[in-house]
Amino acid sequence: MTDTLKALMDERASAPDFARPDLDVVRAAGTRRRRRRRAVNAGGALAGTAAVTALVVGLTTGGGVVDAGPDVATDVPSQPQPLGPSWAVGTTIHDGDREIQVGHPVRAYVRTSLGFVTVDDRGRVWSVVDAGEEQVGTVDDAEFPRVESDPSSSLVAWVGSQGARRDPVAVVHDQADGTTTTYGLTPVPRGRPSDGTDPTEVIALADGVLYVRDDTRAIAIDLASGDRSVVDDAVTFESGPVDAAAGRVAFVDTTGPTFSVGRTRSTAGPSYAVSGYDGSLSPDAGFVAFTEDDGGVYDTATGTAVDLGLTGFFEPVEWWDATTLALVAESAPGSGVGVLLRCDVVAASCRTVAQLGTFDELGDDFVAPTGSS
């Protein structure tokens, strides 16, 4: 699950009266930048597996997959499916009315056009498709894993490491042809969330572009052409990009907090006040959803908040289309029971699509398809 949701569940599970959560604890977890997952309800794959990196200095390309695992994945759809309710508990991914057994604990996962990509409790990255599952790499930080995908493509990306110094590298795997490409990154001060430091990480993989950041800047890479451009040259722990869609990037300054949206930090539109943090852009970048206690969906053109009628804490999970957002929330304020909501941000209405169970029952085993733990 995400850090913020885990913080809420821990508080709920330890408080018999289910008192209002300590949002300082929740927001402190959120500042680790465990970015939310953006999803697109579309088919087809991205063209090619072009160069993927930020701050590139070296390149190593490998074909196929690494350390094949057992073919234990079952009931994985062979064709792209419309996005709908999905979550994982233990070794099982729930996807609509399907239960997919992957044979390893799921610490983080994302959708792709061909299936899923998961990270287990040892930081190993697995490709899960209808033919079975295979290990395709390892994330740099097993305690706080993070992978990014565009659900309309067969590509997934993460940050790994290499060498005795564990220098960060950007990794892209294509489930369609089984190739994995690894790129060395310019040496930067080693940062990992598990060390309490600002990490090198992928931000988003959206519309044929990969976004990568370190502790000083963020870069966008066009996967078809290999062209790279700086989107933020002044990244700090408190301020930087959090998501991207349709060629636009959401920037958040947590000291405000405020958000702005644009192709780069210097050309972004006005900064709007926001009571949340850790934003997730809709596929067309028309809306941005934030984790917070009293609602957090905003029109990116005007900064106007969308009142979804929610009165408690919620966690954005993924966008199912340009105006449909999936959220994890409490069934009622103080109930301690988790539900998955489907929200229409234009109609400003939400409905429950899945009962998840109580927070103490879910514990650390619950994972949403956000790509992070």
Mean pLDDT of the chain, nearest integer: 77
Question: What is the distance in angstroms between the CA of the first residue and the CA of the last residue of the chain?
Answer: 5
Edge-to-edge order in the sheet of strand 297-299: 277-281, 287-291, 297-299, 305-306
Nearest to 192 by CA among 13, 341, 26, 34: 34
Tokens of 67: 């350390």
Closest C-alpha to 285, from 227, 207, 213, 228: 207
Q: What per-residue confidence (pLDDT) applies to 323?
A: 96
For the cut 60, the answer to whether the pLDDT of residue 103 exceeds it is yes
pLDDT digits (tens, 9 = 90+) for 6-24: 555 555 444 433 333 343 4
* pLDDT tens digit sequence for 192-220: 555 555 568 899 999 888 898 877 889 88
pLDDT at 30 over 70: no
Query: Which position has the higher pLDDT, 22 or 226?
Result: 226
CATH T-level assignment (fold) for domain 3-367? Methylamine Dehydrogenase; Chain H (2.130.10)
Please indicate, yes or no, whether the overall pTM of this predicted structure exceeds 0.95: no
Distance CA 328, CA 354 (A): 10
State the Cα–Cα distance between residues 313 and 310, nearest whole angstrom. 8
Domain boundaries, the chain: 3-367
Residues in the chain: 373
Bridge partners of 329, per DSSP, are: 314, 339
3 state SS of 353: strand
Confidence at residue 7, expressed as pLDDT on a 0 to 100 scale: 55
Residue 59 CA neighbour count, 13 Å, CB half: 9
